[in-house]
Structure 1
Amino acid sequence: MNPVSAGLRVLRREGPRELARRAARVAAVRLGALDPELPLDPRDIADSALLTLPVPAARPPRGSSLTVGWLLTPPAPGSGGHTTLFRMVEALEAAGHRCVLFLVDRHGGDARQQERTLRAWWPGVRAEVRSAAEGLAGVDAAIASSWETAHVLASRGRTPMRRLYFVQDYEPWFYPRGAAYALAEDTYRFGFRCLALGEAVAGALRREIGLRPDVTSFGCDTETYRPLPGALRDGVVAYARPGVPRRGWELARLALERFHAMRPAVRIHVYGATVRDLPFPATQHGKLAPTNLNRLYTRCVAGVAMSFTNISLVAEEMLAAGVVPVVGDTADARADLPGGAVAWARPTPAGIAEALAAAVDHPDRDARAVRVARTARPGGWRQAQADVVRIVEDEVFGPAHGRSAAPVAAVARGGR
């Protein structure tokens, strides 16, 4: 395949950001630059051993309106990690604070186009949108949302401010042991106040870094994801993220091929990415808005929801819709996912296929779907949102009366 055809194929399948990333990788290899997998400008790389970050000399009075900056990578339509982050932004806005979103884009994309994507997919977010390249000044607090944004906050956020880190996954595990792993790991030593989403991430921060983070729990949007009356459940569904190793698509693909041989009459649905050359018949849905995704779920008995780092939000959304999620059986997954209706499987093609087959063979699918939906945790994301508001306010105003700030790791330097 010639380079132009290959580039068009990547553009169609994975979008312009992935095409830009691959082009940068090729250029870096040819020029002998730094590790081409690093998703940040080398000039933004910070070092925990050298950081001394200023904080304000005085705290504002409790109850005043704050300006809170969030550093994030440009959101792709339907991104689960961005959806969670924007729920927290909305909570701070509802509490009377002003938020600014600083987009961190290694490839210098069009910030206005990225804002249009954000407004279309997350219309509840009122925050101002800026490029991080324009600077990070003018905020009371800034919150990193990934390891590359943590480096940008440490390297560019040099005016006095409070600094926090919303940790949705233990991101060194995204990479083999190497430069990216080490640089991701170092961000947890920058001294930012860390808020871990779930016990699995909190446990990794304790074990690997010696950090004692604030911890909040996962939520689930049970208003959107729920059983619908009259839906015929006759299929299985899988979330496809090719090229994202932690989501295990290649393993799911092998399992679905095996499952089709076992139960050829059962419909297979795939969403997320459109995948070519599947070795089994499937209906491909691509990216779906939440309401449309729920409609798909309510046509299915079971679904593949693999993740090899923090648990995927997909698993509990399936539960809420009455779908039995097939999840790799690990202690970390069990720590954060209500387990009463989950099909815990060996993370092998046979293990996943057998769990799917057992789910579709279960009698009385409709009644079981109602029972499955009841196992999703109630309350949506309200607890996590309340925790984020409380922790940001405590960090900026100082601990409220009768409450002490969460301790940080002994290894942390600066930033507090």
Structure 2
Amino acid sequence: MEERGHRCTILVYNRNDGAMERHRSVIRNHWPGLAADIHPVPVSLDGLDACVASSWETAHVLAARMPRRGGPSPHYFIQDFEPYFHPRGSLYALAEDSYRFGFNLMALGPMVAEVLKREVGVRSKILPFGSDVGTYRLTNTTGRSGVVFFAKPEAERRGYDMGRLALQQFHRMHPRQEIHVYGARVTGWGVPVRQHGRISPRELNELYNRTISGLALSFTNITLVAAEMLAAGNVPVLNDDQSSRAVLTNPEAVWAAANPAILAKTLSDVVTAEDAAERSARAASHREHTWAETQASFAAALTGYELSSLGSY
């Protein structure tokens, strides 16, 4: 929005009265190009043209601080169906209720939009799910070996335990195929694992280009990992979901039931396929939406202009 000439402010919900200077420092260090002011959420949001909630918690804050009359237009950028982050109970209900506040709902991809309509009965504007096609690209057209997995044990929706069980079975089927894990450091797998920890996007592109396949698991929206792997010529295996297929249209993506044995067998089939090199090249040649398209659609939805790429569900 700054690139489009808008003056922006980041409002931090500082519910525990933490040091605002610390929060400002974190934001400035990690987003050095951002010019936006950074302030605590005020008691009233008068004086702003538009406000965007970025999670169910901030949607409640926005609803509570909106003036009774006038005030900014309220928007809600929804990247996951967030009730799924919690067991059925108080937090689930509060997260679900945030979609009923009457805000302009902007769903990242058709999967989220479909779940919003099915579970809550609300319509949303669909923004295209983008991919970083500048960083992730094909650089290796020769031999590949091994598989890769993004480990995030603290987020249940990322399917860490499902991936661990599947890769343990995969190792028994292919003991010579190296298993690469990045993200969190893992323990207790009982099979050889090459750990990369947290690596840069450039290093991650190199890892995707070295490996044949990998698991790309996510249960609340399609994972960014899948399109990035495909752009680098790595053919991922994803947990199957009809809504996810609407987001990731690359025909070389492989879908399998969320079952460790089935995921392991599917991964085995990809690794041993005779046309692996050709498949890798086809995967990398497929065009996905870029984040620039997502940004343009977001800006259009926020300012009230329509683009031909915007849809609703």
State the TM-score, normalized to the length of structure 1: 0.69
User: Is 1:328 aligned to 2:239, yes or no?
Assistant: yes
User: Is 1:291 aligned to 2:182, yes or no?
Assistant: no
User: Is 1:103 aligned to 2:12, yes or no?
Assistant: yes
Partner SS state of residue 119, structure 2 = helix
CA deviation after TM superposition for structure 1 residue 144, in Å? 0.3
What is residue 177 of structure 2 aligned with on the other side?
Answer: 266
In structure 2, relative to structure 1, the CA distance for the partners of 1:391 and 1:284 (3 Å cut) is same
Describe the superposition over 1:216-243 as per-residue Cα deviations: whole angstroms up to 9, x where unpaired: 1111111111111477521211011102
Partner SS state of residue 238, structure 2 = strand
1:231 touches 1:298 (CA, 8 Å); kept in 2?
no
2:216 touches 2:237 (CA, 8 Å); kept in 1?
yes
In structure 2, relative to structure 1, the CA distance for the partners of 1:352 and 1:139 (3 Å cut) is same
User: Is 1:354 aligned to 2:265, yes or no?
Assistant: yes
User: Is 1:154 aligned to 2:58, yes or no?
Assistant: no
Between the aligned partners of 2:32 and 2:233, the Cα distance in structure 1 is: 27
CA deviation after TM superposition for structure 1 residue 265, in Å? 0.7
Describe the superposition over 1:101-159 as per-residue Cα deviations: whole angstroms up to 9, x where unpaired: 22335555544444444444444433223333787554211100110111111123437
Partner SS state of residue 93, structure 1 = coil
What is residue 252 of structure 2 aligned with on the other side?
Answer: 341
What is residue 110 of structure 2 aligned with on the other side?
Answer: 199
2:138 touches 2:231 (CA, 8 Å); kept in 1?
yes
Residue number among 375, 389, 404 corresponding to 2:299 in the alignment: 389
2:166 touches 2:264 (CA, 8 Å); kept in 1?
yes
2:136 touches 2:229 (CA, 8 Å); kept in 1?
yes
Between the aligned partners of 2:35 and 2:146, the Cα distance in structure 1 is: 39
User: Is 1:217 aligned to 2:128, yes or no?
Assistant: yes
1:271 touches 1:285 (CA, 8 Å); kept in 2?
yes
Output the amino acid matched with 2:79: Q
Q: How does 1:11-410 map to 2 (within 5 A)?
A: 92-104=1-13, 107-132=16-41, 136=45, 138-158=47-67, 160-229=71-140, 232-363=143-274, 365-377=276-288, 379-394=289-304
Output the amino acid matched with 1:246: R
Output the amino acid matched with 1:128: D
Task: Say what the alpha-carbon RMSD is for the aligned residues.
Answer: 2.6
Between the aligned partners of 1:270 and 1:122, the Cα distance in structure 2 is: 27
The alignment covers a number of residue pairs equal to 309
1:104 touches 1:133 (CA, 8 Å); kept in 2?
no
2:159 touches 2:217 (CA, 8 Å); kept in 1?
yes
1:232 touches 1:298 (CA, 8 Å); kept in 2?
no
Between the aligned partners of 1:322 and 1:300, the Cα distance in structure 2 is: 9
Describe the superposition over 1:275-326 as per-residue Cα deviations: whole angstroms up to 9, x where unpaired: 2222211121222222222122111111111111111111111111111111
In structure 2, relative to structure 1, the CA distance for the partners of 1:183 and 1:343 (3 Å cut) is same
1:338 touches 1:376 (CA, 8 Å); kept in 2?
no
5+ residue gaps, structure 2, are: none
2:250 touches 2:283 (CA, 8 Å); kept in 1?
no
Partner SS state of residue 176, structure 1 = coil
2:49 touches 2:72 (CA, 8 Å); kept in 1?
yes
1:327 touches 1:342 (CA, 8 Å); kept in 2?
yes
Between the aligned partners of 1:339 and 1:200, the Cα distance in structure 2 is: 16
1:319 touches 1:376 (CA, 8 Å); kept in 2?
no
Partner SS state of residue 219, structure 2 = coil
5+ residue gaps, structure 1, are: 1-91, 409-416
Partner SS state of residue 341, structure 1 = coil
2:8 touches 2:37 (CA, 8 Å); kept in 1?
yes
Between the aligned partners of 1:330 and 1:275, the Cα distance in structure 2 is: 27
Between the aligned partners of 1:109 and 1:356, the Cα distance in structure 2 is: 46
Between the aligned partners of 1:121 and 1:223, the Cα distance in structure 2 is: 20
Describe the superposition over 1:137-182 as per-residue Cα deviations: whole angstroms up to 9, x where unpaired: 5421110011011111112343721110001111112222111110
1:237 touches 1:269 (CA, 8 Å); kept in 2?
yes
2:235 touches 2:253 (CA, 8 Å); kept in 1?
yes
CA deviation after TM superposition for structure 1 residue 254, in Å? 0.5
Output the amino acid matched with 1:381: W
Q: Percent identity?
A: 44
